């Protein structure tokens, strides 16, 4: 009821509009995914089905929110970047976080059977969300570089960890063996067991980056004629984003 005596309660609502002219990053993280992956029999150290599902959910989110310029994902996390000039929902943090988190979660559940057709969903997948502002392009690029560097670190460690576990060593033994090791040490552990880190799938080593890219699609007219049309859709890549090559290839993403 408008202008009722109860309307004063609106005064308790907090203004959470995000600072203008800052890049908005919404980062989602899986909650309790160690247990979740065990319950559903994910392959260790990397499950291509699980990563594919994460990517599919991210593509769905970008399709729902075209203001997202780029997304980056690894393991059970995904970051979504909105342009510094974005005005959606008045830049209200609570609105943006809740909608992105719920959209990702519902699509993860919706598409589960497409990636795990023989595995019923026994446990609810939960994701928490946070929003961080970056004042300029340099700090945003550094954030994305940090997440990809973290992907490399996790990939190396987890590959070595599960190699040793599968040899019959205990978790305590493996943790002790890997404590304090450098990149070269982990590469040597893998090499001794016939694995070259650089030949592992790029998705495992570099994560997944999603951007709007041109795609040629075929359309069937009523006349029976097939025509090709160029459209922009979210596309998933597994490329280096720490250097400049990727960004020069897709300059529109951060403009």
* Pairing assessment for the beta strands 226-237 and 208-220 based on DSSP bridges: antiparallel
Among 144, 141, 129, 162, residue whose Cα is nearest residue 206: 144
Among 213, 188, 236, 230, residue whose Cα is nearest residue 51: 236
Element (H, E) at 201: none
- Digitized pLDDT (tens) for each residue of the chain, 255 residues in all: 467 889 889 889 889 999 999 999 999 999 999 999 999 999 999 999 999 999 999 999 999 999 999 999 999 999 999 999 999 999 999 999 999 999 999 999 999 999 999 999 999 999 999 999 999 999 999 999 999 999 999 999 999 999 999 999 999 999 999 999 999 999 999 999 999 999 999 999 999 999 999 887 777 777 777 778 888 899 999 999 999 999 999 999 998
Q: Does pTM surpass 0.75?
A: yes
* Gap between the Cα atoms of 218 and 229, Å rounded: 6
Sign of the Cα pseudo-torsion (141, 146, 147, 153, in order):
positive
User: Rounded to 5 degrees, what are φ and ψ at 239?
Assistant: -130, 165
């Amino acid at each position: 009821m408008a202008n009722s005596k109860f309307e004063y309660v609106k005064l308790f609502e907090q203004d959470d509009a995000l600072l203008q002219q800052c890049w908005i990053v919404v980062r989602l993280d899986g909650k309790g995914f160690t247990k979740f992956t065990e319950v559903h029999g994910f392959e260790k150290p990397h499950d291509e089905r699980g990563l594919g599902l994460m990517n599919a959910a991210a593509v769905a989110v970008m399709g729902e929110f075209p203001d997202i310029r780029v997304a980056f994902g690894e393991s059970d996390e995904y970051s979504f970047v909105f342009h510094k000039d974005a005005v959606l929902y008045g830049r209200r943090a609570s609105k943006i976080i809740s909608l992105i988190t719920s959209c990702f979660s519902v699509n993860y559940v919706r598409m589960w059977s497409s990636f795990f057709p023989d595995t019923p969903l026994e446990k609810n997948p939960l994701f928490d969300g946070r929003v961080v502002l970056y004042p300029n392009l340099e700090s945003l690029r550094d954030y994305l570089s940090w997440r990809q560097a973290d992907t490399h670190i996790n990939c190396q460690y987890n590959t070595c960890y599960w190699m040793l576990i599968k040899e019959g060593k205990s978790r305590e033994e493996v943790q002790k063996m890997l404590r304090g090791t450098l990149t070269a040490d982990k590469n040597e552990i893998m090499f001794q067991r016939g694995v070259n880190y650089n030949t592992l799938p790029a998705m495992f080593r570099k994560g997944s980056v999603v951007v709007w890219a041109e795609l040629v699609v075929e359309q069937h007219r009523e006349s029976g004629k097939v025509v090709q049309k160029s459209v922009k859709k979210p596309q998933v890549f597994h490329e280096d984003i720490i250097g400049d090559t990727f960004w020069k290839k897709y300059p529109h993403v951060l403009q």
